Chains A and B, each alone.
Chain A
Amino acid sequence: MTSLSAQWLDRDRRRLILEQSAIPDTIYGILTAACALFIPALVIAIAVAIFAAAWPAFAKLGLSIVTSSDWDVAAGHFGAAPAVFGTLVSSAIALVIATPLAIGVAIFLSEFSPAWLRQPVGFLVDLLAAIPSVVYGLWGIFVLIPLLREHVMPFFRDTLHLGSTPFFSGAAYGPSMLAAGVILAIMALPYISAVSREVLMAVPRSQREAALALGATRWEMIRDAVVPYARSGIIGGIMLGLGRALGETMAVTMVIGNRPEISASLLAPGYTMASLIANEFSEATNDLHLSALMAVGAALFVITLIVNGIARWLVWSVSRARAK
């Protein structure tokens, strides 16, 4: 009997010792540190591998890979400037369309929506992110492109008389920079809206109540108290959407027309860096061709880094401006 109680006592003491000791913390610390270091190590490993594979092309062709517009595999010319241009322009179109829409959705859901509508609408918007990109591409070919060709493009060109401006000139065949931008906008939208919605909902009640107490209307409250508070988070969401747009491959390849030419017209076909790699990699046998495709990949990597850097800087400067 005494031995049993002693045992109990012993067990309690042991548990106490374990709970007070630093061992679980240490193990946990090591595990999380391993996770945290693994990801940067992976990024660095990928970057090293890409740049190593791209090196022969950079050594031979230099920066002309991203500055020249002549991509002619048979002749051994590798100038991917049209693809760089296409990547940047299609992503820019996507953000111009997606940002106001996504923020509108987010503001409605966090500020105006009745509770019963909030869940289903939010769910459906989030669902856009779960659709595979090849499905977007198919939808683009069979629904979006005919719609653009028969209604939207003639509207811009003829009804609004924008056909004389360089941005809407030329024949409208359907597959175009505009089609790519619209597809990318739909794909980027759920990312921007989901992040913005969460950030807006996290704005403290007191912030809203203070604005209302000062006599602000609902609109003024949102404009002056809620959105500025959430601004850096919203920018983060936009950058996440931009990252999605820059790297998207399949859907864009299916609707952009894959034409390596720089054209100011949104109705003209274009090309993106990711599409170029996806299109040509599997059949590339020539060493320089392979290396040039890797170089395009490396350039895309750098562009993504720069864009992320700009995003960081924006978030930082916005939060600093608010702190002042």
Chain B
Amino acid sequence: MSLAILLGAALAVVCVVLVALPFLREPDPASDELDELTPERRQRLALAEERDRALAALKELEADHRAGRINDEDYRASIGPLRREAAEALRALDR
């Protein structure tokens, strides 16, 4: 019984130390603000996602065409808009 209580108390102490660790490590930090995506960085992230999406779609279209899943007619109809999307996303990201 006493061993169980001792172990229980030790567990509680270890947990409290772990929880308090950020405050023990930095009792007086220069900044306690959470780092956050600014609106500009969020915009860049959205553009980067857009660019990756367009490039992935282009890559997939090429692969589908090479493999014969898409015929020449469908390929020609799709490749133009996809290239434009990718170029727009890249331009926006470069600005």
B partners with A: no
